[in-house]
Amino acid sequence: MNRTRKGKQSSRSLLVSWVPYFLLILSCIPVFLINSSSAAEIVIGSKKFTESYVLGEIAKRTLTEAAIPAEHRQGMGGTIILWQALRGGQIDAYPEYTGTIGQEILKSDHASSLDEIRESLAKFGVGMTNPLGFNNTYALVMRRSEAQRLGVRTISDLRKHPELKIGFTHEFLDRRDGWRPLRERYALPQQNVIGIDHALGYSALANGSIDVKDAYSTDAKIEENDLVALEDDLHFFPNYEGVLLFRLNMSADAIAALRRLEGTLDEKGMTRLNAEAERTKNYTRAANLYFESGAGSPNTAGESFPQKLARWTLRHLQLAGFSLMLSVIFGIPLGIVASRGGAIGQAILGFASIVQTIPSLALLALLVPFPFFGISVRTAIAALFLYGLLPIVRNTASGLQDIPRSLRESAIALGLSPITRLWEIYLPMASRSILSGIKTSAVINVGTATLAALIGAGGLGEPILSGLNLNDHVTILQGAIPAALLALLVQWFFDLLDRVLIPKGLRL
Amino acid sequence: MSALIRLVHVSKGYADATALRSTNLAIERGKTTVVIGPSGCGKSTLLRLIIGLIEPDSGSIEFDGASVTADNVAALRRRIGYVIQEGGLFPHLTARANVVLMARHVGKSQEEMQSRLLELCELTRFSDNLLPRYPVELSGGQRQRVSLMRALMLSPQLLLLDEPLGALDPLVRAALQKDLKEIFARLRQTVLFVTHDLAEAIYFGDEIVLMNGGRIVQKGSVTDLREKPADPFVLEFINAQRGLASL
């Protein structure tokens, strides 16, 4: 009888000492599931707004029809992120505008000719197609009724109405051809200016929270929401001809295929495609409209919702799971070192705390310029790993520090070796605290992983982002609800894990 | 017979104060030596020096004829049993796992551990039905018995007890005092017992070491202390405790 009791005893302590391995194996599962796309594919990027998505789809389909395998990473963020990704080779091509190239990428002070732009880009190993045929310049838009009531027709007319509330996209607020120089040129008096997401701005405009916002001249929402674009009577905005930027080391076939799109899409056509995309919530279908004959062909038909949900959820779990594994692997040893205090301990806790204070979007943007990271799943995992570190490090350290001195001394006085003391006494005694740190990390990671979509890493952030962009609540909820359920599930799973992994003597 | 432990000019100071002034002390084999004194007199420092939890600033400590160094202190600890006031049992391990922890690590067989365990249960009057319990499921007195079993598991040459009965209520304390005294006698155990209670010191001590202000004031039998006090403090200490007892 005593023999069997002893057996139970050692299996329990064995189980406890296997905690880290168990977690490691658990979170390893997603790694094997991450399947990077084949290397030979042309990767097309796009910015986070409808027109860029549609152009990305058109470019993809053009390449596919020329028998060149292509992949489209949707909505990867702003100009600088895409430009860095293009230079770094994480993407091979993306849609851009001549005005943006001159102002934001090359940072030239005067309006450059196409040849000048092309020459400057070549220094970076980047080529540019001729204009695709439409000029999508910036415009300031107002509600039609309001504009008529106040008699505002041009941007100059805004001078007479300093009380108007303005909401601009963050990019427009900071651009060299954006709000600040515009205000100077027109001597605009408005003080009440806020930064707001592009798609949300339309809702704000509709409900009167703001009166004026920035828009693109081919934006289908202008028509849809009954808005008017104010005339740029002082010719402030440069030309924004739509073009494709591509890497010059791309195959000649691929370049030739993309150049076939030159001059084929005028402003009216582009506006129609944008409207179609927003109406159907399907960028592939809108792109198909461009090819007319190919519309609705089976190989480009969208996935069904369950398929998409499965793909998003799987990727979401991969992102959160793999980053959690890294946080555990690095967090627990760092926490052990930190628990000893001293300068090194302070430094570790300080570093982990500072990382936590960086906004997640900024952390992603900071990692993108590094060659190893760029626009990739790696970047998203690295950022999530860093966020997951603090709760684990802090809880491991405090769990160990909370062990009474008398018990530490008892372990030493017994003659146990330092490794045995840590492994069999201190870590099991701190297990509740360590596990609760891991739980916090897991829940944070599942939530923060939605932001991975900003750099094209996928996950449940993808529908949230495109829903935000389309101002479509149903699409947002398609991502938000599963993400919330996942967080609850993770919480519940770890509560269960507590019962298995925390030694019984500590739970009585 | 030579002393088991010998302290030669051992001193220890902390940043703010001297915890132990230069001290000489020999602990005889097979006897119970009780160290007594008011709080902060240096008695706990003395014990922690012997078990190697702290190192002396000067002087040397000899255990069984060999000088204690950083290299052999880990091995020496296995020849010393240590019991503290709250028992020092690990809460995540059962009573049994606490007792056999060290034996398991030095590679004792299951059979050896089992028979030693039953022997100790009998010796300490601890029911072996309670062995699968966790420390929180045991009473204070039971915990101290388990702690004593853990200290005795590897048949140590020296048993160190740091106020082992201090946290117990009077009835439990009296029962355990009686059992402890029997155990020491049965095992002919060398014991170093720290307490602040004079009655307890008189009950256990073959030899009493009275400390004050980081030094040993007097060492001897209780009669020596009473009849030939080395210092006015000795009488003061004895009378203070007596005064309390006669209340």
Q: Is residue B127 assigned to a domain?
A: yes
B169, B240: one domain: yes
Q: What is the pLDDT of residues B132-187, one digit of tens each?
A: 999 999 999 999 999 999 999 999 999 999 999 988 888 999 999 999 999 999 99
CATH number at residue A187: 3.40.190.120
Interface of B with A in 159-218 (CB under 8 A): none
pLDDT category of residue B56 using cuts at 50, 70 and 90: very high
CATH number at residue A377: 1.10.3720.10
Q: Answer whether A224's CB lies under 8 Å from A495's CB.
A: no
- Give the residue from A182, A206, A229 where a domain finishes: A229
Residue % of chain A over a pLDDT of 70: 88
B180, B235: one domain: yes
What is the token pair recorded at B100?
């056999």
- Give the residue from A300, A316, A345 where a domain finishes: A300
Q: What is the pLDDT of residues B185-228, one digit of tens each?
A: 999 999 999 998 888 999 999 999 999 989 999 999 988 888 89
Rounded average pLDDT over A411-440 = 94
Q: Is residue B232 assigned to a domain?
A: yes
- Give the residue from B155, B190, B207 where a domain finishes: B155
Q: Which residue has the higher pLDDT, A199 or A128?
A: A128
pLDDT category of residue A14 using cuts at 50, 70 and 90: very low
Question: B92 vs A416: CB contact, 8 Å cut-off?
Answer: no
Rounded average pLDDT over A396-411 = 94
CATH number at residue A284: 3.40.190.10
- Give the residue from B115, B136, B155 where a domain finishes: B155
B170, B215: one domain: yes
- Phi, psi of A500, rounded to the nearest 5 degrees: -85, -40
- Phi, psi of A167, rounded to the nearest 5 degrees: -125, 115
Q: Which residues of B touch A5 (CB under 8 A)?
A: 96, 131-132
Please tell me the predicted confidence (pLDDT) of residue A73: 87
Q: Which residues of B touch A411 (CB under 8 A)?
A: 90
Please tell me the predicted confidence (pLDDT) of residue B131: 96
B96, B150: one domain: yes
B28, B48: one domain: yes
Chain-wide mean pLDDT for chain B? 90
Q: Which residues of A touch B135 (CB under 8 A)?
A: 505
Contacts of A232 (CB under 8 A, 6+ apart): A137, A139, A154, A155
Please tell me the predicted confidence (pLDDT) of residue B16: 66
Please tell me the predicted confidence (pLDDT) of residue B125: 93
What is the token pair recorded at A94?
């993306």
Amino acid type, A58: I
Please tell me the predicted confidence (pLDDT) of residue A368: 74
B9, B48: one domain: yes
Please tell me the predicted confidence (pLDDT) of residue B184: 94
Structural domains counted in chain A:
3
Question: A6 vs B110: CB contact, 8 Å cut-off?
Answer: yes
Task: Look at residue A272 and tell me whether its pLDDT is greater than 90.
Answer: no
What is the token pair recorded at A470?
């389309």
Question: A416 vs B105: CB contact, 8 Å cut-off?
Answer: yes
Please tell me the predicted confidence (pLDDT) of residue A2: 41
A391, A470: one domain: yes
B74, B10: one domain: yes
Residue carrying the six token digits 């930190």: A338
Question: B102 vs A414: CB contact, 8 Å cut-off?
Answer: yes
Buried/exposed code over A432-443 (b: 16+ C-beta within 10 A; e: otherwise)? bbbbbbbbbbbb
C-alpha to C-alpha distance for A24 and A22, rounded to whole angstroms = 5
CA torsion sign for A220, A222, A223, A229 is negative
A322, A471: one domain: yes
Please tell me the predicted confidence (pLDDT) of residue B235: 87
Domain assignment of residue B150, given as a range: 90-155
Q: Which residue has the higher pLDDT, A49 or A315?
A: A315
Please tell me the predicted confidence (pLDDT) of residue A133: 87
Task: Look at residue A411 and tell me whether its pLDDT is greater than 60.
Answer: yes
- Give the residue from B128, B155, B182 where a domain finishes: B155
Residue pairs between chains A and B whose CB atoms are closer than 8 Å: 79
Please tell me the predicted confidence (pLDDT) of residue A29: 45
A396, A470: one domain: yes
Q: Does A249 touch chain B (CB under 8 A)?
A: no
A111, A254: one domain: yes
Structural domains counted in chain B:
2
Q: Which residues of A touch B78 (CB under 8 A)?
A: 415
Q: Is residue B145 assigned to a domain?
A: yes
Q: Answer whether A70's CB lies under 8 Å from A56's CB.
A: no
Least confident stretch, A37-51, A128-142, A258-272, A400-414: A37-51
Residue % of chain B over a pLDDT of 70: 96
B138, B167: one domain: no
Q: Is residue A362 assigned to a domain?
A: yes
By Cβ distance, the residue of B51, B78, B92 closest to A505 is B92
Question: A429 vs B97: CB contact, 8 Å cut-off?
Answer: no
Q: What is the pLDDT of residues A327-338, one digit of tens each?
A: 999 999 999 999
**Cα–Cα–Cα angle for A125, A129, A132, nearest 5°?**
150
CB atoms within 10 A of CB A401: 15
Least confident stretch, A357-361, A372-376, A444-448, B72-76: A372-376
Q: What is the pLDDT of residues A453-501, one digit of tens each?
A: 877 778 898 888 877 776 778 888 999 999 999 999 999 999 999 988 8
Q: Is residue A8 assigned to a domain?
A: yes
Rounded average pLDDT over A84-110 = 87
**Closest of A233, A253, A235, A242 to residue A40, by C-alpha:** A253
A457's enclosing H/E stretch is: none
Q: Which residue has the higher pLDDT, B158 or A38?
A: B158
B20, B64: one domain: yes
Domain assignment of residue A275, given as a range: 42-135+240-300
pLDDT category of residue A298 using cuts at 50, 70 and 90: very low
Q: Is residue A188 assigned to a domain?
A: yes
Task: Look at residue B1 and tell me whether its pLDDT is greater than 70.
Answer: no
A191, A120: one domain: no
A312, A381: one domain: yes
A327, A401: one domain: yes
A56, A129: one domain: yes
Q: Is residue B84 assigned to a domain?
A: no
B63, B124: one domain: no
What is the token pair recorded at A304?
């069904």
C-alpha to C-alpha distance for A142 and B205, rounded to whole angstroms = 97
Q: Is residue A234 assigned to a domain?
A: no
B29, B75: one domain: yes
Q: What is the pLDDT of residues A219-233, one digit of tens each?
A: 888 888 889 889 888
- Give the residue from A205, A229, A253 where a domain finishes: A229
Please tell me the predicted confidence (pLDDT) of residue B243: 59
Q: Is residue B85 assigned to a domain?
A: no
A119, A223: one domain: no
Strands B3-13 and A42-45: unpaired
Q: Is residue A187 assigned to a domain?
A: yes
Q: What is the pLDDT of residues A339-348, one digit of tens each?
A: 998 899 999 9
DSSP A200-226: HHHHHHHTTS-SEEEEETT-HHHHHTT
Q: Is residue B227 assigned to a domain?
A: yes
Q: Which residue has the higher pLDDT, A197 or A68?
A: A68
B75, B173: one domain: yes
Least confident stretch, A1-5, A303-307, A384-388, A499-503: A1-5
Residue % of chain B over a pLDDT of 90: 65
Q: How many Å separate Cα A217 from the centre of its chain?
A: 26
Contacts of B232 (CB under 8 A, 6+ apart): none
Task: Look at residue A30 and tell me whether its pLDDT is greater than 60.
Answer: no
Interface of B with A in 32-71 (CB under 8 A): 48, 51, 53
A485, A353: one domain: yes
Q: What is the pLDDT of residues A235-259, one digit of tens each?
A: 888 888 899 999 998 888 899 889 9
A398, A474: one domain: yes
DSSP A313-375: HHHHHHHHHHHHHHHHHHHHHHHHHHHT-HHHHHHHHHHHHHHHHS-HHHHHHHHTTSTTTSS
Chain-wide mean pLDDT for chain A? 84
Task: Look at residue A264 and tell me whether its pLDDT is greater than 90.
Answer: no
Residue A371: burial class (beta carbons within 10 Å; 0-12, 13-18, 19+): exposed
Q: Is residue A352 assigned to a domain?
A: yes
A356, A493: one domain: yes
First-to-last CA distance in chain B?
Answer: 42
Question: B90 vs A406: CB contact, 8 Å cut-off?
Answer: no
Q: What is the pLDDT of residues A156-209, one digit of tens each?
A: 999 999 889 998 887 787 777 788 889 889 998 888 788 778 877 888 888 888
Q: Is residue A235 assigned to a domain?
A: no
Question: B91 vs A409: CB contact, 8 Å cut-off?
Answer: no
Interface of A with B in 380-439 (CB under 8 A): 406-407, 409-417, 420, 424-425, 428-429, 431
Rounded average pLDDT over A377-381 = 87
C-alpha to C-alpha distance for B150 and B105, rounded to whole angstroms = 13
